Amino acid sequence: MAPAGGVGGWLRRELIPNRRQRIGGADTIIGFSAKWGVAVAAFLFEYGLFFAKVLTVVVAILVVVGFVATQRQDRRVGDGRVEVRKINDVLDDLRFALREHLLDPDQLKREEKSRKAREKAERKARKREAKMARKRLAGRVEPEAVPEKSSLYLLSFDGDIRASATENLRREITAVLAVARPGDEVVVRLESPGGMVHSYGLAASQLDRIVQAKVPLVACVDKVAASGGYMMACVANRIVAAPFAVLGSVGVVAQLPNVHRLLKKHDVDFELLTAGQYKRTLTVFGENTDEGRQKFIEELEETHTLFKEFVSEHRPQVDIDQIATGETWYGKRALDIKLVDEVSTSDEYLIKRLDEVNVFDVRFVEHKSFRERFGIGAAEMLDRLSLRWWDRLMQSRWMV
């Protein structure tokens, strides 16, 4: 129960008399200090309990709201949108930001005025272009009747072993082909060390849609396009690679462990039942045979033959016997054997084209649920930590 008269009355009764007796000696002063400390501790304890109750209620409300929002977002999984960013404007912003520190106020003011007028004219031109594009799609305007400035559409593909980015690439290509006009161009920034044959075969087929539509396609490789990555790159009408980009690896590899002897050592039997002589050639748990190995090698050779035919079809200028050894080459060496057409970074290539065309960065962005975003964030954090420690471990081994 609270003391009579409240906390203030209790303080007056208990603490003030002790204040009057301070002259009496050290004991009286100590008693006053002790009672004051108890009072403050009691107040802080009560305040802490109150704050904990309020915090509990707020957290509970946030959990409920978050759960409801998550359920709503989950129903939108699979949806997405195409995001378009004009690279010309991005470069102009960078230039203007630097000029702010280089030009005097009057020059800056004149340039800003000129810039706004130019942007206004470009917005009007884009509106006219969009209107003409809608008419063209409706069949009311011939493509030749649109005299607007040509466009360069920039796509990006960052490949993993399963070529997981193919789905987004497919949608981006569909969007671009719906509006592309004669004179337009597509550039794909391609980074991939390769992966599954069927996955990269599909990714290459998606790029081939651009070529079949008679839209020039340029593949820019800044780091690596090997194996399946080069399968995609060779579809392009032109390949541009950075000086130390890794290209090639026109070959096929397969590997798997076999623990049959380990299981046999511990008296563990593994039964594999198949219908068809070559339904299963090599296995992880069963006993592999020479016949199975030979058949598996034949399948690898057949896949390699298809790979070589694919490269020869799209880049007939290469000596396929020379480059189909599974080796890789850096950009400058790749130019010598015609794996690429030009040595340059993607940035250099795009900047050269900025004065000639409108460059649009096109990306398909998926809507992800709260759980997916949380999981992706946690995975990326673990990846960064793992790479950081790996770099520290290996930095003394790999030096240039």
Per-residue pLDDT, 22: 44
7 vs 104 pLDDT, higher one: 104
| Tens-digit pLDDT profile for residues 160-199 | 999 999 999 999 999 999 999 999 999 999 999 999 999 9
pLDDT, the chain, mean: 80
84 vs 129 pLDDT, higher one: 84
363 in Cβ contact with 188 (< 8 Å): no
Per-residue pLDDT, 109: 74
pTM above threshold 0.85: no
32 vs 398 pLDDT, higher one: 32
pLDDT at 252 over 60: yes
pLDDT band at 17 (very low <50, low <70, confident <90, very high): very low
Quick one: tokens of 216? 């020039």
Among 10-14, 34-38, 138-142, top mean pLDDT goes to: 34-38
CA–CA gap between residue 332 and residue 325 (Å, rounded): 18
| Tens-digit pLDDT profile for residues 191-231 | 999 999 999 999 999 999 999 999 999 999 999 999 999 99
CA–CA gap between residue 201 and residue 225 (Å, rounded): 14
pLDDT at 238 over 90: yes
Per-residue pLDDT, 382: 72
Active site residues: 227, 279
Single-letter residue type at 365: V
154 in Cβ contact with 360 (< 8 Å): yes
CATH, domain 80-249+327-378, list 3.40.50.300, 3.90.226.10, 3.40.190.10, 3.90.550.10: 3.90.226.10
Residue identified by tokens 């400035």 is 149
Longest dimension (CA), the chain: 109
Per-residue pLDDT, 124: 75
